[in-house]
Chain A
Amino acid sequence: MNDVTIEINNLTKQFKNALAVKNISFKINKGKIIGLLGPNGSGKTTTIGMMLGLIKPTSGTVVINHKNIENNRTSLLEKMNFISPYIELPKKLTIEENLKVYGRLYGVKNLKEKISSLMEKLNLTEFRSRKTGELSSGQKNRVSLAKALINDPEILLLDEPTASLDPDVGDYVRSFIEDFASNKGSTILLASHNMNEVERLCHEVMMMKNGEIIDRGTCGDLIKKHGRKNLEEVFLKIARE
């Protein structure tokens, strides 16, 4: 379980008027869940965007499974997936249609069985023929999760996966991610503002501020190092410094 799955080397992104990410480097080992924390505008989404090949780095490299994403975008994306509350699935398509489309896009074998199994696990079976736009936000979130897991990704990038969910659904989603990671051995990068979620799910946490990674460690180590009671206080200390 010590293979390096993700290797970020001196990654920098300069937009027209802003330096969004400043020369960051980190490695994530296979099967680890790593939290990416930082205040708004700290460079988390840009970093994730570069890891997905959506944003071209100004300099530096994103190496996934020993391959540079710039030259192997399609083959690497087959083994990755992404979820974010800021993107949605087509509202006019039913849950089943959406999952069929994405299952085919990712070249999933035995798609019918895969869709049935995901729907059952995520309590979506009774809504399978309902249009995605007609669902509650909790149900939509579960459909997005089903889409993100349709290809059994080796690497899963989660951008605030439980944002705007009530505590019950949020807890359900966290448990599901926890089970998925332990069963499949996937590597997960989790960007979140929910500190309880990060403490519960992540093996380690990276703190970002002003485009830089300013700290990294287990939740316990960071709390101890910064002399605070919990991760939220660590976050507030770093954000306000």
Chain B
Amino acid sequence: MKFHRMYALSLRHIYLIKGSLPRILDLIYWPTIQIVLWGFISKFFTLHTDLYNHTVGVILSSAILYDFLFRSSISFNMLFLEEIWSRNFTNLFVAPLKVSEIITALTATALLRTLIGIVPAILLATPFFGVSIFTLGPSLILLFLSLYLFGITLGLLVTSGLLRYGPAFENIAWSSLFLLAPLGCVYYPLSILPDWLQVIAKILPLVYIFEEVRSILLDNTVNYSNILTALKLNLIYFASAVFIFYLSFYGARKKGTLINIGE
């Protein structure tokens, strides 16, 4: 892998973001609205019933972490879709880029894009609702890492579909995370789900991540086995997604879609 090629691919998106204030505002707007909305909803619950004591922090922290996951996945998809929309896709694939360089560059650039959106939301949560995600302590780094890996994994799977089936797969890019959210137990414990759904939910790393968030914030205990299970699952899914991406690339070469995907 060559750094200059990965840097070039990132630079293309940095120029795109840097050159457009509406684009930057769009990145910041949705996470901020999400946090403000969940902040007021949880504040309302806390003020009107004892059942929701201490839950402003839990719900808001979960909302921030879920949005981080959502943004990282969407960012990865968007970087790929931008190339299709601008009809630049073929130019990139006739350049001397390796598939591994594309994945690495998009993964790094998606992080930058995600942070531009989520950092203002994290900073706003403290003065508006008295909630700081940093109360999760050092395990926050591992939780972020796990969520980022899962976001990129979903991004890789969606872009694999785009490579294989073309722009028609675009709608899946937007709906992929909404399909998984109910099973991820982001805002409620796993026990809420019916037994048969719990079995499915347990194969998702999200369940372990958000169970852990609640455990840290409500019980002040860090259960590293949850964090490790999430990381292990994420690594398996990520490796599988990379494999599928390679398969899709070779499938697209066979099908001839790389030369006219924007059309």
| A55-B256 in contact given A87-B90, A101-B11 (Cβ < 8 Å) | yes
Check if B4 sits within 8 Å of A88, measured CB to CB. Answer: no
| A105-B5 in contact given A56-B253, A74-B96 (Cβ < 8 Å) | yes
Contact residues in A for B89 (Cβ distance below 8 Å): 87
| A105-B9 in contact given A56-B250, A89-B88, A90-B86 (Cβ < 8 Å) | yes
Q: Which of B15-23, B138-146, B233-241 contacts A (4 or more CB under 8 A)?
A: B15-23
Distance in Å: Cβ of B248 to nearest Cβ of chain A: 13
Check if A104 sits within 8 Å of B11, measured CB to CB. Answer: yes
User: Which of A45, A77, A100 is in CB contact (< 8 Å) with B94?
Assistant: A77
In chain B, what residue has the closest Cβ to A157? B94
- Chain B interface helix/strand/loop/mixed: helix
In chain A, what residue has the closest Cβ to B18? A97
Is B258 at the interface (CB under 8 A from chain A)? yes
| A91-B2 in contact given A101-B15, A147-B91 (Cβ < 8 Å) | no
Is B98 at the interface (CB under 8 A from chain A)? yes
Contact residues in A for B250 (Cβ distance below 8 Å): 56
Check if A107 sits within 8 Å of B15, measured CB to CB. Answer: no
Q: B5-35 interface mask toward A, CB cutoff 8 Å, 1 = contact, 0 = none?
A: 1011101100110011000000000000000
Distance in Å: Cβ of B207 to nearest Cβ of chain A: 39
Task: Please report the C-alpha to C-alpha distance between residue A15 and residue B96 in the assembled complex, in whole angstroms.
Answer: 25
Which residues in window 90-116 of A have CB below 8 A to B?
90-94, 97, 100-107
User: Which of B12, B258, B259, B260 is in CB contact (< 8 Å) with A90?
Assistant: B12
Q: Which of A78-86, A120-128, A171-179, A183-191 contacts B (4 or more CB under 8 A)?
A: A78-86
| A97-B95 in contact given A15-B255, A90-B86 (Cβ < 8 Å) | no
Distance in Å: Cβ of B90 to nearest Cβ of chain A: 4
In chain B, what residue has the closest Cβ to A78? B96
Check if B16 sits within 8 Å of A93, measured CB to CB. Answer: yes
Check if B96 sits within 8 Å of A91, measured CB to CB. Answer: no
| A93-B95 in contact given A56-B250, A87-B88, A87-B90 (Cβ < 8 Å) | no
In chain B, what residue has the closest Cβ to A104? B8
User: Which of A46, A75, A88, A102 is in CB contact (< 8 Å) with B256?
Assistant: A46
Is A8 at the interface (CB under 8 A from chain B)? no
Kindly name the residue among A81, A89, A90, A105 whose own CB sees the greatest number of chain B CB atoms within 10 A. A105
Residues of A in contact with B, size category:
35 or more
Check if A54 sits within 8 Å of B8, measured CB to CB. Answer: no
Contact residues in A for B253 (Cβ distance below 8 Å): 53-56
| A107-B5 in contact given A86-B260, A88-B88 (Cβ < 8 Å) | yes
Task: Please report the C-alpha to C-alpha distance between residue A90 and residue B82 in the assembled complex, in whole angstroms.
Answer: 9
Check if B87 sits within 8 Å of A88, measured CB to CB. Answer: yes
Is A52 at the interface (CB under 8 A from chain B)? yes
Check if B19 sits within 8 Å of A93, measured CB to CB. Answer: yes
Is B97 at the interface (CB under 8 A from chain A)? yes
Task: Please report the C-alpha to C-alpha distance between residue A105 and residue B5 in the assembled complex, in whole angstroms.
Answer: 4
Distance in Å: Cβ of A16 to nearest Cβ of chain B: 8
Check if B19 sits within 8 Å of A92, measured CB to CB. Answer: yes
| A89-B91 in contact given A55-B256, A56-B254, A74-B96 (Cβ < 8 Å) | yes
User: Which of A16, A45, A75, A107 is in CB contact (< 8 Å) with B259?
Assistant: A45
Is B45 at the interface (CB under 8 A from chain A)? no
Which residues in window 122-171 of A have CB below 8 A to B?
131, 147
Could you name 5 residue pairs across A and B whose Cβ atoms are closer than 8 Å?
A55-B254, A87-B87, A102-B8, A104-B7, A106-B95
B residues within 8 Å of A by Cβ? 2, 4-5, 7-9, 11-12, 15-16, 19-20, 82, 86-98, 250, 253-256, 258-260, 262-263
Given A54-B258, A101-B8, 8 more pairs with CB closer than 8 A? A13-B256, A54-B94, A88-B87, A90-B12, A93-B16, A104-B4, A105-B8, A107-B5
